[in-house]
Amino acid sequence: MWPGGNNVKKLVVWGASGHAMVVADIVRLRGEYDIVGFLDDVTEGRNGEEFFGLPVFSGRDSLAMLCGQGVRHAIVAFGNCPARLKVAEYLRAQGLELVTAVHPSAVVARDVVIGEGTVVAAGAVINPGVHVGANVIINTSASVDHECTIEDGAHICPGVRLAGRVAVGEGAWIGIGSSIIDRVRIGAGSFIGAGSVVVGDIPDNALAYGVPAKIRKRIE
């Protein structure tokens, strides 16, 4: 385990790939939890493997074992938006508390509302009046300006720039380095390709990319 603070609370990270390393490092820096390891229910045969200095537990059956050992907290740490929401729902149903992880270097205005299970990575900036839902990722050096709304399960990728009053729907993915002008709405389940410049609303379940971004197809 990685040691936490004086009030030790055990936590498992659901996910065991690159993003899970980032999330585990944020949790470690906050010093509030002991991370017992990573849970991987996707890749077979990883049980007992070491990853980022901690053990990997394979399969959902491992969760019951961990709960029996006093684990009461969890965080979901992989990028797939719909799957992340489903896993978060499953963890809550098992009685675990989803924790929020905000990197110490992130700049977050004091009135910002952040939901449970959300990750705010290093160098991110979230300005006043922003509402961030549950199980969102605000990734490395992303900038979210005033009065934006980001709904549950969305992923704001590294280096994204959201101007004021942008609304991002549930489970939407804003690709790395994209920019979105003020008052635009990105629909639920939509995917904005890397490096795009979005100057108008994007409907639900749409793939859009380019400069300016154009809708390329519907996502089934």
Q: Which residues carry a binding-site annotation?
A: 17-19, 79, 155, 176
Between the alpha carbon of residue 10 and those of residues 2, 26, 47, the distances in Å are 10, 15, 19
175-209 CB burial, b ≥16 within 10 A, e <16: bbbbbbeeebbbbbbbbbbeebbbeeebebbbbbb
Which amino acid would we find at residue 90?
Answer: Y
User: Which residues fall in the annotated binding site for substrate?
Assistant: 17-19, 79
User: Which residues fall in the annotated binding site for acetyl-CoA?
Assistant: 155, 176
Among 73, 103, 131, 146, which one carries the catalytic annotation?
146
**H or E element: which one contains 146?**
none
Peptide bond into 212 cis (omega under 30): yes
Which amino acid would we find at residue 81?
Answer: C
Question: Which of 156, 116, 108 lies closest to 135 in space, CA to CA?
Answer: 116
Active site residue 146: yes
Q: Active-site residues: which are they?
A: 146
